[in-house]
Chain A
């Protein structure tokens, strides 16, 4: 009776959901600057994971935020980052799921928060989004979250630092909770961004400048390459900070008898190649890298959960072995049935012991921080990682900070290709947009009507068209309605708070990417085909305009 009641219950234990958090296509898309395609893949995933109970909820949103940020859609990046942040900030979210992970698969039971270095990075990239819109108080707050204490298990008899695996193997499992010293984090990007958040708002309170210096000192302590960046910024010799990423971050793979151990392997190898920078074709400088994610991935202080993976394998083996013993030695049917149940449960648990290899494959291999002094409107900045000619990226249309701001921030992700595409190296803005004041041939008419202007339809924009002798019969509202008739969105709020493909690239959005980003260069520095009207209203407006001009 007892056996009959236990075995069906064990059989009903969920083995785990078939979540496939990783997407091998995302990293190559990002490496080629093809962010609209990456966005669309992630949006399809997110459409299936709208519930915060979804185990990939955070992972999908962090990756989407990073894609939007790299694509220059800084306002659109806030929505996914904030959603991920809200869940990352929930403490102990997975505390009560440990045993569910034991009887299922870890990825089916544990809400992905990432390894500690991935969590720190998620907070720092959210801070980067907030810095891109000069929301300095929140920059500090988000970056501060990345500066949690790390676990240091000290050194072994050989004088080398102990790993989690060593502590687990040589000690009771309680050591994993008690046998370490909490130590200050060495996450330099977090300190730097926290300092930048304070520096950006120092005008509100002198105390923020002091706090900025404290954070900058820590950043330099753990990444000496940041010293000239901090000096230039705090001495007033720079007003613009770039966070420049390059390469594909490490990949998480399984190892061990039951594939219960995860390890990170480098995709883009680490090296010390500096970042070459130029402003307006001069002032060539070289900047050393500030963060290497291959290094974080191999540092035991930035890893966690190996204990769980070991326990899963151990429990699975234990149950299976014990089940065999019980079934073999029992002198009655009930005992044999219980043993059989344990055997089956053990086999299932061992099969679920495979390590969770979900990871943020959009993390870069390395990060550089650059401080530049942008004094002229429409300045052009060039970045290239030394010995990687395919990473060359020329970024036009960068203005000095807009008052009352005294500092501005941009996030730039370089391509990781053998050869740089034409849009990345041209540096020539081919379409008039909200961030570019200089005249462009054809900017006296909207792109949707055959011109080269994709500015937001404001009274000022319409004045430009009128000055060119075009659209004299149209008001601003008429023009805005034409865009709406075409299904074109004018601001992020009309896109459910998210990003969308730009009309120049065949999409439905008129929202301009931010200058200083790969997205801006790809959208505005490449030649695009003519717009094909979708609505009768636009076709009539074009015919009317041609009639008037005739």
Chain B
């Protein structure tokens, strides 16, 4: 579980107190008070303030998810029993299915799969497992004319690697917290058997009003 980022709340409360003090005439009774208020205003104007927050996935989150998932896959029984002489396995990867309450762009969805695949590439090769260009990307490349129409026709994947990201959201006037869950799995296409699955969970939090 990850810690919630530093909050802007205490600083915001202080500034609100400053404004209230400035607006409450009975508290302003002499030059010293004026000077104090003016100084507060000046300091407030110059201060950098606390860091605001967002619960959207960061690059660091994505890297960590990919690292943890790749480690789990490398240590999985699915690969443990395989050697270079095992029957070939051809895995097509798809992009992440985003079922969260926040945007995960298509490029991020591909990154979250590709980053896992890259980390196990050598291990896969040693265990006679190959990965092939995803069908969706192949079709896109064909439409753009980037590859010949016949390219990739013999890829014949035996397995497919998928991932689904979901969130549970809690929010109130003070902020928002998201519990992310990333579920990865490899499925044998011919039988539908799930041959490997792993899940990563973590939270992201942010304080402050969403519209401010």
Contact B105 A99 (CB under 8 A): no
A126 to B105, CA, bound (A): 12
Which residue of chain B lies nearest to A172 when distances are taken between CB atoms in the complex? B20
Contact A138 B98 (CB under 8 A): yes
A342 to B149, CA, bound (A): 76
Decide if B8 is an interface residue (CB 8 Å cutoff): yes
Contact A338 B23 (CB under 8 A): no
Decide if B56 is an interface residue (CB 8 Å cutoff): yes
A92 to B15, CA, bound (A): 13
Contact A141 B101 (CB under 8 A): yes
**Interface hit among B37-45, B75-83, B191-199:** B37-45
- Chain A, 274-289, CB within 8 A of any chain B CB: none
Q: Which residues of A contact B20 (CB under 8 A)?
A: 173-174
Decide if B132 is an interface residue (CB 8 Å cutoff): no
A285 to B157, CA, bound (A): 48
A86 to B55, CA, bound (A): 10
Decide if A390 is an interface residue (CB 8 Å cutoff): no
Q: Which residues of A contact B102 (CB under 8 A)?
A: 89, 141, 145
Decide if B208 is an interface residue (CB 8 Å cutoff): yes
Which of B15, B22, B104 is the one whose CB lies under 8 Å from A138?
Answer: B104
Interface residues on B, range: 35 or more
Contact string, A134-146, partner B, CB cutoff 8 A, digits 1/0?
0101100110110
- Chain B, 155-175, CB within 8 A of any chain A CB: 173, 175
A383 to B44, CA, bound (A): 53
Decide if A457 is an interface residue (CB 8 Å cutoff): yes
Contact A94 B212 (CB under 8 A): yes
Decide if B137 is an interface residue (CB 8 Å cutoff): no
Q: Min CB distance, B90 to chain A, in Å?
A: 22
Q: Which residues of B contact A89 (CB under 8 A)?
A: 54-56, 102, 210
Decide if B11 is an interface residue (CB 8 Å cutoff): yes
Decide if A458 is an interface residue (CB 8 Å cutoff): yes
Which residue of chain A lies nearest to B53 when distances are taken between CB atoms in the complex? A91
- Chain A, 343-361, CB within 8 A of any chain B CB: 345
Which residue of chain B lies nearest to A349 when distances are taken between CB atoms in the complex? B41
Contact A458 B145 (CB under 8 A): yes
Contact B212 A92 (CB under 8 A): yes
| Total CB contacts across the A-B interface at under 8 A | 180
Decide if B12 is an interface residue (CB 8 Å cutoff): yes
Q: Which residues of A contact B18 (CB under 8 A)?
A: 99
A174 to B19, CA, bound (A): 11
A309 to B52, CA, bound (A): 22
Which of B42, B55, B103 is the one whose CB lies under 8 Å from A142?
Answer: B103
Which residue of chain B lies nearest to A336 when distances are taken between CB atoms in the complex? B31
Q: Which residues of B contact A55 (CB under 8 A)?
A: none
Q: Which residues of A contact B104 (CB under 8 A)?
A: 137-138, 141
Tell whether A95 pairs with B208 under 8 Å between CB atoms, given A6-B39, A89-B54: yes
Q: Which residues of B contact A90 (CB under 8 A)?
A: 52-54, 206
Q: Which residues of A contact B40 (CB under 8 A)?
A: 99
Which residue of chain B lies nearest to A315 when distances are taken between CB atoms in the complex? B22
- Chain A, 76-126, CB within 8 A of any chain B CB: 78, 82, 85-86, 89-100, 102-104, 113, 116, 119, 126
A457 to B144, CA, bound (A): 8
- Chain A, 4-23, CB within 8 A of any chain B CB: 6, 9-10, 13-14
Decide if A377 is an interface residue (CB 8 Å cutoff): no
Q: Min CB distance, A111 to chain B, in Å?
A: 10
Q: Which residues of B contact A98 (CB under 8 A)?
A: 12, 15-16, 19
Contact B144 A318 (CB under 8 A): no
A399 to B206, CA, bound (A): 43
Q: Which residues of B contact A507 (CB under 8 A)?
A: none
Contact A95 B212 (CB under 8 A): yes
Tell whether A345 pairs with B38 under 8 Å between CB atoms, given A92-B212, A98-B19, A458-B145: yes
Contact A99 B41 (CB under 8 A): yes
A213 to B18, CA, bound (A): 48
Contact A95 B145 (CB under 8 A): no
Contact A459 B41 (CB under 8 A): no
A287 to B84, CA, bound (A): 64
Contact A113 B212 (CB under 8 A): yes
- Chain B, 4-50, CB within 8 A of any chain A CB: 8-9, 11-12, 15-16, 18-20, 22-23, 25, 28, 30-31, 34-35, 38-42, 44-47, 49-50
Q: Min CB distance, A177 to chain B, in Å?
A: 8
Decide if A482 is an interface residue (CB 8 Å cutoff): no
Contact B44 A99 (CB under 8 A): yes
Tell whether A99 pairs with B15 under 8 Å between CB atoms, given A14-B45, A137-B99, A459-B145: yes
Contact A342 B16 (CB under 8 A): no
Q: List the interface of chain A (C-beta within 8 A of B).
A: 2, 6, 9-10, 13-14, 78, 82, 85-86, 89-100, 102-104, 113, 116, 119, 126, 130, 135, 137-138, 141-142, 144-145, 148, 173-174, 182, 204, 304, 311, 314-315, 318-319, 322-323, 326, 330, 334-335, 338-339, 341-342, 345, 456-461, 476, 480, 490-491
List, sorted by A's number, 7 A–B pairs whose CB atoms are closer than 8 Å: A6-B35, A91-B210, A95-B50, A103-B42, A326-B31, A456-B145, A458-B143
**Given A103-B41, A148-B210, A460-B145, 18 other A-B residues pairs in contact with their CB atoms under 8 A:** A9-B39, A90-B206, A92-B8, A92-B9, A92-B53, A95-B209, A98-B12, A99-B40, A99-B41, A113-B212, A204-B97, A304-B211, A304-B212, A315-B23, A319-B38, A338-B31, A458-B144, A476-B145
* The 8 A-B residue pairs with the shortest CB-CB distance in the complex, in nearest-first order: A92-B208, A96-B49, A458-B145, A99-B44, A137-B98, A91-B208, A95-B12, A91-B206
